[in-house]
Structure 1
Amino acid sequence: MYVRAPGSRLSAALATGLVTALLATGCGQGDDPSVATPSAAPTSAVPSTTPTAADSPTASTPTVDREITVTIAKRRVNPPTGRVTVGKGELVRITVTSDTADELHVHGYDLGARLPAGVPGSVQFRADKTGLFEVETHETELVLFQLVVR
């Protein structure tokens, strides 16, 4: 025989409402529109793609002027943190591989990419703003390098 305690319906309704509200709002980290999943293009005028053997350069595919590759292992950045200078107007691709899941962020351009553990994540953009911009990871807060656009 099943006996329901007084107020158990109210408790169940409150618990269900709380869980629904939490699921609807999330933790807030996924709300940043500048962070793209690896399969989605970053928020820039030039889409970021991972080339495959079937892809071949064509007249409509812009050539990357500067490829910057960074690896993170045991919280160590390789190459070591420093400054990378590019010319204004250059097409830049930043590819990062981390041994732990994280998010890549390019300050000033408000670009980002998810970094699943061991899987490269990339952003590609036209360096159309001059200045000094920090490139970092979101979760571990590691500064990967400072991008200088002249």
Structure 2
Amino acid sequence: MSTLAAPLALVLAMSLTACGSDDADPPSSSQGATQDGDTVAVTVTREGDEFTPNGERVELGVDQTLVLTIESDEAGELHVHSTPEQEIAYDAGTSEHELVIDRPGVVEVESHEPDVVLLQLEVR
């Protein structure tokens, strides 16, 4: 085993162990996300083919509500690659949508047209 492989294996093992944590405190929110008790709020903005955020990681507790406010200049659809997968259709203007993920892991929220990953939900 190379000198880099052993520390990498240790880090990976520790990160997998951390996923099974039973901490009572909800995870902290990431930049661009706000947390209010049992909910985390994120605003998604679409102007043409440009989205904000773009690939941001947001920490979320299992069964914690994510409130997505979508501000868009045109109608579209977001895909949430959870189990089961979820779709969020939105119209032009401002709309609000709630998501709850009931399993730990990393869940991507993306647009397929254009193909952009907006969020990576780190559910613990």
Give the TM-score, by structure 1 length.
0.50
Deviates more, 1:112-121 or 1:99-108: 112-121
Asked if 1:128 corresponds to 2:102, the answer is yes
Q: Figure out how many residues of one structure are paired with residues of the other and give that number.
A: 87
Call closer, same or farther: CA 1:95–1:138 in 2, change over 3 Å. farther
Aligned AA (1:135): V
Structure 2 residue aligned with 1:137 = 111
Give the TM-score, by structure 2 length.
0.59
Quick one: percent identity of the two aligned structures? 36
The Cα of 1:64 is off from its aligned counterpart by 5.0
Separation in structure 1 between the aligned mates of residue 68 and residue 113 of structure 2, nearest angstrom: 18
- Trace 1:71-150 onto structure 2 (pairs within 5 A): 71-109=45-83, 110-122=85-97, 124-150=98-124
Call closer, same or farther: CA 1:65–1:121 in 2, change over 3 Å. closer
Give the greater-gyration-radius structure (CA): 1
Q: Which runs of 5+ in 2 are unaligned?
A: 1-36
Listed one character per residue, the Cα deviations across residues 44-74 of structure 1 (whole Å, up to 9, x for unaligned) are xxxxxxxxxxxxxxxxxxx751112110113
8 Å CA contact 1:64, 1:93 repeated in 2: no
More strand by share: 2
Structure 1 residue aligned with 2:16 = none
CA RMSD of aligned residues (A): 2.0
